[in-house]
Amino acid sequence: MSLVELEIVELSEDALQEVNAIERVSQDRPWSQSSFRRELHVSFSIILGARSLEDQRLFGYLVFWHVSDEIHVLNVAVHPDARRRGIGRQLVEASVSIGRNLQATVMYLEVRASNHAAILLYKSLGFTVVQTRENYYPDNLEDALVMECPLDSVAATD
| Active-site annotation, residues | 110, 122
CA angle 6–97–62, rounded 5-degree value: 55
Phi, psi dihedrals of residue 75, rounded to the nearest 5°: -160, 135
Q: Cβ distance 24 to 40 under 8 Å?
A: no
Cα 150 from chain centre: 16
3 state DSSP class of 73? strand
Compute the distance between CA of residue 125 and CA of residue 93 in angstroms, rounded to an integer.
8
Compute the distance between CA of residue 153 and CA of residue 12 in angstroms, rounded to an integer.
30
CA angle 125–129–130, rounded 5-degree value: 125
